[in-house]
């Protein structure tokens, strides 16, 4: 999905009503049809793989992961994008 050898910004936005998700890559929406599984209590979680049988693993490097428990304001989003641009010299959208 992502071209090798370069940094990319990806974000997954989850609907608080559990009706779906939006995948953003490099500032563009690339999928809005992602339905979320039912929320269940888990003792652990994964980045780069799924608990589903037969799911593929992410192959590459995750340099930084930011997780927020709420939607960011426009100012907060701008601050995060500014931070990422300075830190990784990428992601100006």
pLDDT band at 1; cut points 50, 70, 90: very low
Under DSSP, is residue 45 helix (H, G, I), strand (E, B) or coil?
Answer: coil
Could you tell me which residue, 90 or 70, shows the higher pLDDT?
Answer: 70
What is the distance between the alpha carbons of residues 16 and 71, in angstroms, rounded to a whole number? 9
pLDDT tens, position by position, 51-89: 677 777 777 777 888 888 777 888 988 888 888 888 887
What is the distance between the alpha carbons of residues 63 and 89, in angstroms, rounded to a whole number? 13
- Residue 66's nearest CA partner among 18, 13, 28 is 13
Q: What is the pTM of this model?
A: 0.61
pLDDT tens, position by position, 14-53: 776 766 778 888 778 887 876 655 666 666 667 777 767 7
């Amino acid at each position: 999905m992502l071209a090798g050898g370069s940094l990319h910004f990806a974000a997954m936005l989850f609907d608080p009503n559990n009706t779906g998700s939006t995948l953003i890559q490099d500032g563009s929406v690339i999928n809005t049809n992602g339905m979320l599984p039912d929320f269940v209590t888990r003792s652990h979680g994964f980045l780069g793989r799924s608990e589903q049988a037969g799911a593929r693993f992410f192959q590459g490097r995750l340099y930084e992961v930011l997780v927020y428990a709420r939607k960011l304001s426009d100012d907060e989003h701008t601050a995060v994008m500014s931070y990422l641009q300075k830190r990784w010299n990428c992601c100006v959208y």
